[in-house]
Chain A
Amino acid sequence: MNPCGRFEHEGLLLLERGLPLDEHFDTCPDCLQARQAYQRLQGELATAGARYRPPAGWQSRVRAAVAARKARRPGWRLRLMIPAGVAAALVLLVLLVPDREPIPVALHAEIELGSGDVRRGHEPHPGDVLRLRGTTGGAPHAELRVYLNDVELVLRCSTAAPCRRREESLQASVLLDSIGSYQPVLLVSDRPLPEPLATLDDDAAGAIAAGARIAMGRQIDVR
């Protein structure tokens, strides 16, 4: 004889709707068993995937994306001009000076093998060198930083070695001597940059709050 399927067909929906179950569900052995099974399933669902955690440094990446979009966006005066039509725009162009758009900043990262060869798209190993090249947009203050596992600052330089600054470019190299995730960051600002204090997330938040722009290089996982 087939087991009673009323709990699956009716009981589950009644419970999801917060409605009472009738007497049958208290007396039918199949339904009682099914109810217990679904209670266990619901308990397991509550803990499924509990091991998943957002990747380290994700907040900084969101803030950097926010900052990058802000930098790309035209000033409010310029945006007001767009729907005003050509004639009005010509007048407004004379009367209003659009906000200066910041020059984009960017950060490129390359891995140099211990042997001195350059490779891209391969998994780096301890002993390789990370070569960084940032475009500062001519900002008076610029700094390259590299965080290991988002908590340890392994490189920080601006005009002095190991950084080399030439006009709008800032370059540096850092030896990848440990296993872990290296996150390169370029910070630029019209004002002096705040001192790094703690983690990548905190430092990035502090720099953005102080008016800095941030470009994040790709994360380098050394194994």
Chain B
Amino acid sequence: MDIFNNMLLGFTVVLLPWNLFYCLFGAVIGTLIGVLPGIGPAATIALLLPFTFNVPPVTALIMLAGIYYGSQYGGSTTSILVNIPGESSSVVTCLDGYAMARQGRAGPALAIAAMGSFFAGCVATVIICLLAPTLAELALKFGPAEYFSMMVLGLVGATMLARGSLLKAIAMILLGLVLGLVGTDVNSGTRRFAFGISTLFDGIDFVVVVMGLFGLAEIISSLDHEMKKEIMTTKVSRLIPTRADLKASWKAVIRGTALGSMLGILPGGGALLSSFASYALEKRIASDPSRFGKGAIEGVAGPESANNAGAQTSFIPMLTLGIPTNGVMALMLGAMMIHGIAPGPRVMVEKPDLFWGLIVSMWVGNLMLVILNLPLIGIWVRLLTVPYRFLYPAIVMFCCIGVYSLNNSIIDLAMATGFGIVGYLLLKLDCEPAPLVLGFILGPMMETYFRRALVFSRGDFTVFFTQPISLTMLLTAAILLLMNIAPTVRRKREEVFQE
């Protein structure tokens, strides 16, 4: 019973009081920022990253993971009660969730969302336990050519989700790759792209990049379309769903969980894609699709389960292969590297306490969220009435202190400002920051594997195509690219984003 032992090991790690506390802290912070529109999990993880340096890596990762799945819970609350998506992955929940709230069924909608999320969280945890060791074992056999091709596939997958054109998303990845190369080259000792600035000799700090791109740029851009929103809070009377509600939604929960678990693993997948796909699926197979948008409980149950499942299974490629599938996973990977852990399949073998501790913590965190969130909904709703103009100065302040505390460097602060300005302008040009961050994280690794593969093959470029696994991955990447260019998929994608 390998799984049993692994889970047990995970529990012994998570149940340490300190880890439990950080798990709870992460989950609560995640819910908080999930409820509040205008700040996402990526920005929050970036913000809190510098303050995790003095805790053990497993504790830090437990907390940061809590922020991600906690925000999935919180996002649904805002969507249902005030018709504003707290998180981008809760956009579809607005459609039927808010309709239910207007019919006085806010309570059951919230309860189903939470219960569905919890169910999905449990299933996803088991899936990670089953799948992760197999994948890691497979990945241990990978040579440099396979690694390089896998990274190409991961990056291509990430472009699928980016808004705006494919070309721009690819350009953002390339820009990230170049930025990742700044600093001293390990093989030759050459200082690349440092332009004589001594701070750049060690490369650009990851935190500086994400604080600028996700923190400052996002704040500036939300201030741009800041408007007076009158927040109408619906009263939540009774939480318990009726038997009819349960009967209508349990199948949707299972379908959403299955779909989300699958899509989470794929490159480019995660919570966002899963929720959209699940809503589309529920609407398609419903006997009466016209009910959707008018308070169909399946339209809440499916996507909310799917986004939580997807959020969790997207940890699989990150933990076992060292490949981030979306922006948040890139941040988690960055956090691991900052804590001195080399990502890849060896993490599971060399740091089993970290690996299984993190996985079990997700289940524990989900349990905490279900227990905490439903009774506390009143408090979360009241938070929504705090205007953004009081919140964002505090976020800017946290950004600044966080960046400065990295190396006590003024230049880091200046660079973060630069990334903030450039990131904002790029957002205005429809270039999303997530692909850039993915490239930035993978840049140095990709170069290393690229070089190594060609050393082994004596400079023969066909090595990427003659190895079967490498070839499969490159072909998949090519197919993904072609699909994205094909007009039908493009139209579908636009439809999804418009909805």
Do the two chains belong together in a single complex? Answer: no
